[in-house]
Structure 1
């Protein structure tokens, strides 16, 4: 897990639902200390991710435009991260 959540406000194109959910998931992992889900943690963890993603989307929609885009590119927009995710998905299949 990354140590910092990437700034989503001001991205061009705007942050996607997938990017917002990834940031919410990272936040919930960090504050809860839950790194792998069990039957006992799955439901509250996923509910928290959904709620935080919804709140984050609402926040991003209502904040004024940024004058400059964020200094860093979100992980899901980086080719090496996309390649890692694709490789992981192939292993699952």
Structure 2
């Protein structure tokens, strides 16, 4: 649905809470059509919290895989970029 949502399963190190929430937020933005929720709209934030919790459960329930994902999100992480000298 959205090419910008990063695959989080199989990352080494595992996806952080912040990465999971960012993916959930991107998903909610996409399905709602809102780039930024209205200031008084709690429904958007509640949806982000619920999707984040669901993704945590999903990632915990899926078997780990040994191969890295087809996308390479760890390269976005500061510690990986520093190690690679980028």
Q: TM-score, normalised by structure 1?
A: 0.72
Alignment of 1:30-69 (within 5 A): 30-40=30-40, 42-69=41-68
Instruction: Quote the Cα distance in structure 2 between the aligned partners of 1:64 and 1:73.
Output: 19
**In the alignment, what sits opposite 2:11?**
11
Name the one with the larger helix percent. 1
* Alignment RMSD (CA, Å): 2.0
Q: Is the CA contact (8 Å cut-off) linking 1:10 and 1:66 kept in structure 2?
A: yes
In structure 1, runs of 5+ residues without a counterpart are: 80-93
Q: TM-score, normalised by structure 2?
A: 0.78
Q: Which runs of 4+ in 1 moved over 2 A?
A: 73-79
- Between 1:11-20 and 1:67-76, the stretch displaced more is 67-76
Paired residue total: 77
